Structure 1
């Protein structure tokens, strides 16, 4: 079937990548590029919740190979929201985890028995839980998981 072949091809492409977990570390307003006449518009847009002129600074917190990523998320129930969210990386090559995802993901990964996980999967679970806790403490933070070609 064409759909299945396309999905398998997409999955296999991302399985060959290095998976990096980037955490937002800080934001700043880039005022150098904004003409003086437009600064009031930029400040107004920031006040109403738009992010014009905001630069996000991301830092790589952990990484693994695509095959290790797949083995790690295989510990989640296939019909769970957590699996669907994390599988998004294999489909799209990138996912973003926002504060509204942290509770669901933390519960799902904490339910996986460490005895069923490889050393790498245990490291990824511990690292993810640590990042999710940081997002819980600072809700403007987020996590981006994205692939890079090796």
Structure 2
């Protein structure tokens, strides 16, 4: 039995991208997306990063011990999944950027992908990541 950790990113929003949403209405759109499952809206998540379970554990061990970022990422072994949203981007971006100097080339590649996804969330706060431990 092998285990992996999969980072899935919201890949589609349920608004018409051809029509510009007025700034005054943008927060209503974000709220509607946030409660979408109550309105019959389904989030489409797409796999953006996948790594073997033991490698994930070694990767997050490069984050400062006791840091909020490390505790957040340790939620995957503890709970089986975590959500990363706009509230987490500054903390995680800072921690993974700082850890680059002590990471292996593979870990650095994963960190750069994660940093890119965090940048996407910064640009569009309706985007989020679902990080799950999968057993097959």
Q: Which interval holds the TM-score relative to the shorter structure?
A: 0.7 to 0.9
Pick from 13, 38, 58: which aligns with 1:71?
Answer: 58
CA deviation profile, 1:72-124 (whole Å, cap 9, x unmatched) = 1111112100000000001111110010100110001111143x211221111
Instruction: Check if 1:109 corresponds to 2:92.
Output: no
Instruction: Check if 1:125 corresponds to 2:111.
Output: yes
CA deviation profile, 1:23-66 (whole Å, cap 9, x unmatched) = 0011339xxxxxxxxxxxxxxxx76x632211000000110011
User: What residue in structure 2 maps to residue 57 of structure 1?
Assistant: 44
Instruction: Check if 1:147 corresponds to 2:133.
Output: yes
Q: Quote the Cα distance in structure 2 between the aligned partners of 1:59 and 1:120.
A: 21
Aligned length: 118
Q: Quote the Cα distance in structure 2 between the aligned partners of 1:28 and 1:141.
A: 12
Which TM-score applies when normalising by structure 2?
Answer: 0.80
Greater RCO (Cα-Cα under 8 Å, separation 6 or more): 2
User: What residue in structure 2 maps to residue 20 of structure 1?
Assistant: 6
Q: Quote the Cα distance in structure 2 between the aligned partners of 1:133 and 1:75.
A: 21
- CA RMSD of superposed structures (Å): 1.9
Contact 1:96–1:143 under 8 Å retained in 2: yes
The ranges of structure 1 where at least 4 consecutive aligned residues each deviate by more than 6 angstroms after the TM superposition are none
Which TM-score applies when normalising by structure 1?
Answer: 0.73
SS at 1:79's partner residue? coil
Q: Quote the Cα distance in structure 2 between the aligned partners of 1:77 and 1:148.
A: 25
Stretches of structure 2 lacking an aligned partner (at least 5 in a row): 16-30
